[in-house]
Amino acid sequence: MTDLPARASEPPPLLSVTAPAHSRKSAGAAATSRGEDEGHAVTGHAEVILDDIDARPGSATSLLRTFIGLYLRELGGEISSRALVHLAGDLGIPAPQARTAITRLKQRGLLLSSESGGHVLNPAAIRMLERGDDRIFTVRTMQPGDEWILVSATVPETRRDLRHQLRRRLQFIGAGAVSAGLWILPGHLDAEVEALLHELGARDFATLFRTADPRPAQPLSDAARSWWDLEALRAEHERFLASVDALDTSAPFAAHVHLVDSWRVLPYIDPGLPAELLPADWPGARSAAAFTELSERLAEPARGHVDGVVR
């Protein structure tokens, strides 16, 4: 094992989050009016904190977001500035960079300021974090005969912002693009799709179908390669496995946070397709096994380190 590499600069976003060619939007698209770039939206009168679709694993902001998801709820939802900056330093983040990242997380609605001058978890973020727990720590793979869900969305031309958000966020939760306005996902994501549509205020524009027998013109395995960018997904699995090889487990807290940070987007963007639709050398099972083994080994000593700093 080698030491963790330095993370002085912001890494590029995950390639797999980029839309397929037939639905790709210009990189210079303006930020939407619903707060997409800040990771939150307001639906009716309720604030909704959205999943982090632009995560850059290893960046200061991403690492602190991962720390918050792992530990802040167990700490009662609040942490002092001193403790958070101290723990950021244990992750290799200098204090000025940590404070900048904390400010960004507040701008995105994940953290709020406490009366004591520390930081508290925004209650509106709890559902998003709970959904993340399910995705990150419970890897689900489709089996032969499992149902699929199809999402047909027709968003008015006057709501291009919503159309863009819906496309990006459906892809982030593992949807394949069948054609413009038509997406396919594993059936076990039904509830997550419904929640996403409601959170974005897009439910009125979408119709959902379930089927166990999709019949494209070509073999289903060929269709899957056109609906999902499997080569980009493979590259993300290989990136994760390389990060595992580089992990220094002698410091369990830093190792655990870096491990989860490197992994946490993969269970979203990889839909967990059945084996018969994937190449024989698909690395998904190796990635999941490596994450599970290391996470279980590091979790307890990592939590002990956090308790020692905070208590």
Can you list the residues of the chain whose pLDDT is less than 50? 1-38, 42-45
Alpha carbon dihedral 56, 109, 259, 85, in 10-degree steps, equals 100
- CA-based nearest residue to 150, from 196, 120, 182: 182
* 288-306 per-position pLDDT tens digit: 999 999 999 999 999 999 9
Are 183 and 306 part of one and the same domain? no
| Segment holding 138, helix H or strand E | none
Residue 141 inside a domain? The answer is: no
Are 6 and 111 part of one and the same domain? yes
- CA-based nearest residue to 91, from 204, 210, 255, 214: 255
* pLDDT of amino acid 93: 98
CB 154 within 8 A of CB 205: yes
* pLDDT of amino acid 39: 56
* pLDDT of amino acid 31: 30
Residue 16 inside a domain? The answer is: no
Q: How far apart are CA 60 and CA 298, in angstroms?
A: 21
| Segment holding 188, helix H or strand E | none
Q: How many domains does the chain have?
A: 2
Instruction: Specify which residues 42 forms β-bridges with.
Output: 47
Give the N- to C-terminal CA distance of the chain in Å, as an integer: 31
Residue 70 inside a domain? The answer is: yes
Residue 220 inside a domain? The answer is: no
Are 236 and 305 part of one and the same domain? yes
Are 128 and 159 part of one and the same domain? no
Structure tokens at 51: 């999943």
Q: How far apart are CA 230 and CA 223, in angstroms?
A: 11
Are 96 and 163 part of one and the same domain? no
Are 95 and 152 part of one and the same domain? no
Write the CATH number for 189.
3.30.70.240
Are 197 and 271 part of one and the same domain? no
Tokens 């707060």, located at residue: 35
* pLDDT of amino acid 220: 95
Q: How far apart are CA 170 and CA 43, in angstroms?
A: 18
* pLDDT of amino acid 246: 95
Q: How far apart are CA 235 and CA 296, in angstroms?
A: 25
By three-state DSSP, how is residue 10 classified?
coil
| Segment holding 113, helix H or strand E | strand 111-113
Residue 68 inside a domain? The answer is: yes
CB 165 within 8 A of CB 40: no
* 3-13 per-position pLDDT tens digit: 433 433 444 44
Residue 222 inside a domain? The answer is: no
CB 236 within 8 A of CB 174: no
Are 56 and 87 part of one and the same domain? yes
Q: CA dist 153 to 28, 44, 202, 207, Å?
A: 24, 20, 9, 6
* pLDDT of amino acid 144: 87
Q: Whole-prediction pTM value?
A: 0.83
Instruction: Specify which residues 111 forms β-bridges with.
Output: 121
* pLDDT of amino acid 48: 63
Q: CB neighbours of 179 closer than 8 A, spacing ≥ 6?
A: 22
**Owning domain of residue 266:** 1-11+31-136+232-311
